[in-house]
Structure 1
Amino acid sequence: MNQTIINVGLIGYGLSGRVFHAPILTSVPGFHLHTVYETRPENIALINKRYPEAKVVADTDEIFRNENIELVIVATPNHVHFSYAKKALESGKNVLVEKPFTCTSEEADELISIAKKIGKVLTVNHNRRWDGDFRTVEKVIKSNLLGEIVEYEAHFDKFRPEPGVSWKYQKASQASGTLYDLGSHLIDQAQCLFGLPEEVFGYIDVQRKNAEAVDSFEVILRYPDKKVTLKSGMMIREAAPHFSIHGRKGSFIKYGVDIQEEELNNGKIPKECKDWGLEPEVMYGKINTDIEGLHVTGIIESEAGDYRELYRNVYGVLTEGEELAVTAQQARNTIRIIELAEQSSEEKRWMRFE
Structure 2
Amino acid sequence: MNTLIRTAIVGFGSVAEKMHAPLIDVCDSLSLTAVVERHGTKCQEKYPGVQTFRSLEDLLEADVADLIVITTPNEFHFPMAKQCLMSGKHVVVDKPVTIFSQEAEQLNQLAKEKNLVLSVFHNRRFDGDVLTIQKILSEKTLGEVVYLESHFDRFRPEITENWREKDVPGNGITYDLGVHLIDQIVLFFGLPNWIQADIRRQRTGAIADDYFDIQLDFGSIKARATASVLSASPTPRFLIQGKKGSYVKYGLDVQEAKFKAGQKPEGADWGVEPVEKWGKIFHSEGQEARKTEEGDYRIFYQNIAEAIQGKSTLFVTIPQTINVLKIIEASFKSSKEGRRIGKEEGGW
Q: Does the pair score TM above 0.5?
A: yes
Does 2:169 align with 1:174? Answer: yes
Q: State the Cα deviation string for residues 211-245 of structure 1 (Å, max 9, x = none).
A: 11000000011112210100000000002100000
Once the two structures are overlaid, the 10-residue window that deviates more, 138-147 or 83-92, is 138-147
Shift of 1:134: 1.2
Once the two structures are overlaid, the 10-residue window that deviates more, 339-348 or 137-146, is 137-146
Aligned to 1:20: 19
Does 2:138 align with 1:142? Answer: yes
Once the two structures are overlaid, the 10-residue window that deviates more, 227-236 or 309-318, is 309-318
- Measured on the aligned residues, the alpha-carbon RMSD in Å equals 1.2
After the TM superposition, list the runs of 4 or more consecutive aligned residues in structure 1 that deviate by more than 6 angstroms: none
Q: Structure 1 stretches of 5 or more lacking a match?
A: none
Shift of 1:164: 1.1
Please give the alpha-carbon distance, in whole angstroms, between the structure 1 residues aligned to 2:15 and 2:28: 21
- AA partner of residue 216 (structure 1): Y
Please give the alpha-carbon distance, in whole angstroms, between the structure 1 residues aligned to 2:167 and 2:234: 26
Please give the alpha-carbon distance, in whole angstroms, between the structure 1 residues aligned to 2:234 and 2:208: 22
SS of alignment partner, residue 309 of structure 2: helix
Q: State the Cα deviation string for residues 311-349 of structure 1 (Å, max 9, x = none).
A: 111111111331110001111111111100000000000
Q: State the Cα deviation string for residues 135-188 of structure 1 (Å, max 9, x = none).
A: 11111111110111110000000000011111112x233211000001110011
Once the two structures are overlaid, the 10-residue window that deviates more, 53-62 or 177-186, is 53-62
- Percent identical pairs in the alignment equals 37
Q: Structure 2 stretches of 5 or more lacking a match?
A: none
Does 2:341 align with 1:322? Answer: no
Structure 1 length normalisation: TM-score? 0.94
Does 2:203 align with 1:213? Answer: no
Q: 2:303 aligns with which of 290, 313, 330?
A: 313
- AA partner of residue 7 (structure 2): V
Please give the residue correspondences for 1:1-354 in structure 2 after superposition, counting only pairs within 5 Å.
2-41=1-40, 44=41, 46-169=42-165, 171-271=166-266, 273-289=267-283, 295=285, 297-353=287-343, 354=347
SS of alignment partner, residue 163 of structure 2: coil
Please give the alpha-carbon distance, in whole angstroms, between the structure 1 residues aligned to 2:163 and 2:254: 24
Q: State the Cα deviation string for residues 31-88 of structure 1 (Å, max 9, x = none).
A: 00011000232xx2x3122101110111212322344421110110001000100000
Q: Given that residues 4 and 319 in structure 1 are in contact (C-alpha distance below 8 angstroms), is that contact kept between their aligned partners in structure 2?
A: no
Q: Given that residues 39 and 54 in structure 2 are in contact (C-alpha distance below 8 angstroms), is that contact kept between their aligned partners in structure 1?
A: no
- AA partner of residue 137 (structure 1): I
- AA partner of residue 77 (structure 1): P
SS of alignment partner, residue 230 of structure 1: strand
Q: How many residues align?
A: 344
Q: State the Cα deviation string for residues 224-268 of structure 1 (Å, max 9, x = none).
A: 221010000000000210000011111100000012111111110
Please give the alpha-carbon distance, in whole angstroms, between the structure 2 residues aligned to 1:66 and 1:221: 46
Structure 2 length normalisation: TM-score? 0.96
Q: Given that residues 34 and 64 in structure 2 are in contact (C-alpha distance below 8 angstroms), is that contact kept between their aligned partners in structure 1?
A: no
